Structure 1
C-alpha cells in the first residue's frame, strides 16, 4: 500500500461521513413533522457502510493467505428505520385521524445529535489523516536536498 493510497481511503471515509451527516440532518429536520396516517409519516433514515476490500496488498508487503485489507468505505444503501412510529392522541390537531391520533416520525433527536457529532468528528479525523499524509509526502520530497 503506497502513501498516496491514504488519500483514497481518507477520501472515501469523508464521503461516507458526509452522507451520514446529510441523512442525520434530514432526520432532525423532519423529527416533528406530523401526519394523519402511518403510510404518510416520515421514517428515520440511516446509511449502510461497507468496507472496500483488497485481497492482497500490492507492493512490498503481502498479507497471509486468505486475509484481506480494507482500502476504503462505500455507502451501499440508505435504509429506513423500522422503529415504531410515535402515535399521539391530539384530537384538536388539524391532521388528527378519525380516532383523534396524530402520527409522528420514529426519530429520536438525542440519538440523531449524537450521530451528527460522531460523523462530524469522524470527518475531522479523515481530514487530519490527509493533512498528515500530505506533510509526510512533502518531507519525503525534501530528503534529497
Structure 2
C-alpha cells in the first residue's frame, strides 16, 4: 500500500462520517415531529458502513500476506436503514395532529443517543482529517530526504 492511498482511505472515512452526521441531524430535527398515524410518523435513520477490501479493488495478491490479510482500502455507506423500534403514542386530544382517538405518534428518536452519535461521528471525521495532515507531512519529509 502506497502512502498516497492513505488520502483515499481517509477521504472515504470523512465522506462516510459526513453521511452519518447528516442522518443524525435529520433525526434530531424530526425528534419532536408528530403524526396522527404510525405509517406517517418519522422513524430514526442510521447509516450502514462496510469495509472496502483491497481484493475487491482488483489489487489483491500483491502482498505476501494477501491470502490471510486483506488490507482495507476505505469505507463505504451501503445504505441507510430505518429504526424499526416502537413509536411513542401519547394521548393529546387537543393536538391538531391527533387522530380520532386523540392519540399522536412521536418518532423513535432518542436525542441523547443521537447527540452521542454526533460526537462520535465528529471525532471520527476529525481523526481522518488529522490522518490526512500526518500523511501530507510524511510525504513532504520524503521529498526532502535527498537534500
TM-score, normalisation: structure 1: 0.95
CA distance, structure 1, for counterparts of residue 69 and residue 144 of structure 2: 36
Q: Give the deviation of 1:66 after TM superposition.
A: 4.1
The alignment partner of 1:88 has SS state of strand
Partner of residue 49, structure 1 = 49
Partner of residue 75, structure 2 = 73
Q: Give the deviation of 1:98 after TM superposition.
A: 1.1
CA distance, structure 1, for counterparts of residue 116 and residue 131 of structure 2: 23
CA distance, structure 1, for counterparts of residue 97 and residue 23 of structure 2: 26
The alignment partner of 2:37 has SS state of coil
TM-score, normalisation: structure 2: 0.93
Which of 114, 131, 137 is matched with 1:129 structurally?
131
Q: Give the deviation of 1:63 after TM superposition.
A: 1.3
Alignment of 1:1-145 (within 5 A): 1-55=1-55, 56=60, 58=62, 61-145=63-147
The alignment partner of 1:35 has SS state of coil
Q: Which runs of 4+ in 1 moved over 2 A?
A: 55-58, 64-67
Q: Give the deviation of 1:123 after TM superposition.
A: 0.1
What is the Cα-based RMSD across aligned positions, in Å? 1.1
CA distance, structure 1, for counterparts of residue 140 and residue 61 of structure 2: 24
CA distance, structure 2, for counterparts of residue 78 and residue 65 of structure 1: 32
Any stretches of 5+ residues in structure 1 without a counterpart? none
CA distance, structure 2, for counterparts of residue 66 and residue 121 of structure 1: 31
The alignment partner of 2:64 has SS state of coil
Q: Give the deviation of 1:68 after TM superposition.
A: 1.6
Q: Give the deviation of 1:92 after TM superposition.
A: 1.0
Any stretches of 5+ residues in structure 2 without a counterpart? none
**Number of aligned residues:** 143
Contact 1:57 1:69 in 2 (8 A): no
Contact 2:61 2:67 in 1 (8 A): no
